[in-house]
């Protein structure tokens, strides 16, 4: 009987925590198990000394006005501890993230997964802009080492892969693109609503500003003003502006924790009863929420940015609008889809796209092919 391969899953977060990286860590762990492998969590942790370094950087940041990303510093990478005994028990290592494997010395094959490179996200996300110059240098060094050290790389989008190839000189055949799946367990095929029914728009996102919350609400207002009766449901943001809470077409739900069964059921109820998903996000590496919307047949209206193009296909499961577009253009695109019946068609094709590409079963199958190729070549 052939020995079952054991994968060492390197992670700071507990893979059973459904909130870690928006649930992605949990689903990656389960998907590797689903591919037929024995999986062991190899816990990565920072040394207790990291808090003193963080205090120093906080002081420097306050004085200079510069930001920092501690995960992209050499000291943080060197202060990361991984149980060497656990590494000896596995056949292959899997690391979603670069910091934990920076100083790791092993002859075991490493699969490195990321939804972006440091070069791609620097100055793309606000929190990763205006960094200390040393932080930029070290962030690129850590990324380069992880990409080079890895036996194989999994990226979540073409956008991420292109950066690895262009910015870090990584061979294309060393990288596989596998889209993330939907972080849900109960997909539901959406029913087509009558034309006269009130449309239910859905906005999901914790970061109100980056996700384009103001544009989403303004789009809802414009559609109502134009005779497209709708309600917009808002779930996720911690910083939801008070001025919107009393608007008659706004339903503010708040943050929903998928680890809590009652809140998870609430999330499923909201997404399954909505008609359109609107997320005018200005920056997005992948957007698992797009896979979730597609699983429930919700046409998506978003911006064409970052890795979104792998998750939102124009006229299939929604539309990606140019970044220069405002709420008027979002409303115009939605109105056109409602009046021309494109919305009805995309309800169907979105679910097809989910079943064919944006699901964790497909991720498992692709991952298994990578492992088999590594074993075949005895890397």
Query: pLDDT by residue (tens digit) across 111-124?
Result: 999 999 999 999 99
Q: Does 302 lie in the same domain as 369?
A: no
Instruction: Note down the domain range covering 248.
Output: 199-356
Which of 224, 202, 345 has its CA nearest to residue 268? Answer: 202
89 within domain boundaries: yes
* CATH classification at residue 283: 3.40.50.2000
Domain-embedded: residue 267: yes
Q: Does 112 share its domain with 31?
A: yes
Which residues are bridge partners to 203 per DSSP?
Answer: 234
Residue 249 contacts residue 229 (beta carbons within 8 Å): no
| DSSP secondary structure letter of residue 103 | S
Question: pLDDT tens, 47-72?
Answer: 999 999 999 999 999 999 999 999 99
359 contacts 181 by C-beta, under 8 angstroms? yes
Q: Using alpha carbons, list the distances in angstroms from residue 228 to 193, 249, 332, 338, 348.
A: 14, 12, 11, 9, 22
Q: Same domain, yes or no, for 225 and 348?
A: yes
Indicate if 272 and 297 belong to the same structural domain. yes
Top pLDDT among 149 and 197 is at: 149
Six-digit token string for 365:
């199958």
Nearest to 279, CA basis, from 311, 247, 241, 244: 311
What is the pLDDT of the chain when averaged over all its residues?
93
Q: Is residue 186 part of a domain?
A: no
Note whether 347 and 363 are same-domain residues.
no
Is pLDDT at 135 greater than 50 in this prediction? yes
Same domain (yes/no): 58, 131: yes
What is the rounded CA–CA span in Å between residue 192 and residue 44? Answer: 47
Measured CA distances, 368 to 43, 178, 289 (Å): 23, 12, 24
Mean local confidence (pLDDT), 312-328: 98
Q: Which two tokens stand for residue 198?
A: 């009130």
Residue 192 binned pLDDT confidence (cut-offs 50, 70, 90): low
101 backbone dihedrals φ, ψ, rounded to 5°: -105, 5
Q: Is residue 315 part of a domain?
A: yes
| 195-250 per-position pLDDT tens digit | 558 999 999 999 999 999 999 999 999 999 999 999 999 999 888 999 999 999 99
Q: Are residues 142 and 270 in the same domain?
A: no
188 inside domain: no
How many domains is the chain built from? 2
Tokens, residue 287: 């957007």
pTM for the complete prediction?
0.94
Task: Please state, in angstroms and rounded to a whole number, the distance separating the CA atoms of residues 379 and 367.
Answer: 16
294 contacts 300 by C-beta, under 8 angstroms: yes
Looking at residue 375, its pLDDT comes to: 82
Same domain (yes/no): 176, 29? yes
Same domain, 171 and 132: yes
Judge whether 323 and 267 are in contact, CB under 8 Å.
no
19, part of any domain: yes
Is residue 107 in a domain? yes
Q: With bands split at pLDDT 50, 70 and 90, how would you rate the model's confidence at 23?
A: confident
Is the pLDDT at 379 greater than 50, yes or no?
no
Residues 125, 212 within the same domain:
no
Say whether both 166 and 306 belong to one domain. no
The band of 260, judged by pLDDT with boundaries at 50, 70 and 90, is: confident
Identify whether 338 is part of a domain. Answer: yes
Could you tell me if 168 and 134 lie in one domain? Answer: yes
């Amino acid at each position: 009987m052939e020995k079952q391969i054991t994968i060492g899953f390197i992670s700071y977060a507990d893979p059973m925590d459904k909130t870690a990286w928006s649930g992605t860590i949990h689903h990656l762990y389960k998907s590797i198990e689903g591919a037929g492998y024995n999986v062991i969590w190899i816990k990565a942790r920072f040394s207790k000394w990291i808090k003193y370094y963080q205090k120093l950087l906080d002081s420097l940041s306050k004085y200079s006005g510069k930001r920092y990303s501690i995960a992209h510093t050499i000291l943080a990478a060197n202060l990361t501890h991984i149980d060497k005994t656990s590494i000896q028990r596995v056949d292959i290592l899997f690391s979603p993230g670069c910091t934990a494997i920076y100083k790791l010395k092993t002859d075991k094959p490493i699969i490195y997964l990321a939804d972006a490179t440091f070069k791609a996200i620097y100055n793309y996300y606000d929190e990763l802009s205006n960094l200390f110059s040393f932080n930029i240098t070290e962030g690129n060094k850590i990324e380069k080492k992880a990409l080079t050290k890895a036996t194989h790389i999994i990226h979540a989008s073409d956008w991420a892969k292109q950066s690895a190839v262009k910015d870090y000189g990584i061979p294309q055949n060393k990288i596989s693109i596998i889209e993330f799946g939907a972080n849900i367990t109960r997909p539901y095929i959406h029913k087509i609503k009558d034309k006269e029914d009130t449309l239910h728009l859905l906005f999901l996102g914790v970061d109100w500003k980056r996700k384009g919350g103001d544009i989403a609400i303004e789009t809802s207002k414009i559609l109502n003003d134009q005779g497209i009766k709708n309600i917009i449901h808002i779930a996720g943001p911690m910083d939801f502006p008070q001025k919107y809470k009393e608007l008659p077409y706004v339903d503010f739900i708040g943050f929903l924790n998928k680890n809590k069964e009652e809140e998870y059921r609430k999330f499923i109820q909201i997404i399954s009863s909505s008609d359109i998903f609107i997320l005018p996000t200005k920056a997005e590496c992948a957007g698992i929420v797009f896979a979730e919307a597609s699983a429930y047949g919700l046409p998506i209206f978003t911006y064409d940015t970052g890795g979104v193009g792998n998750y939102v296909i124009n006229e299939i499961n929604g539309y990606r609008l140019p970044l220069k577009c405002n709420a008027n253009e979002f409303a115009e695109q939605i109105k056109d889809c409602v009046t021309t019946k494109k919305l009805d068609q995309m309800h169907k094709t979105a679910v097809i796209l989910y079943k064919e590409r944006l699901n964790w079963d497909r991720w498992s199958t692709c991952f298994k092919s990578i492992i088999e190729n590594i074993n075949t070549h005895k890397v």
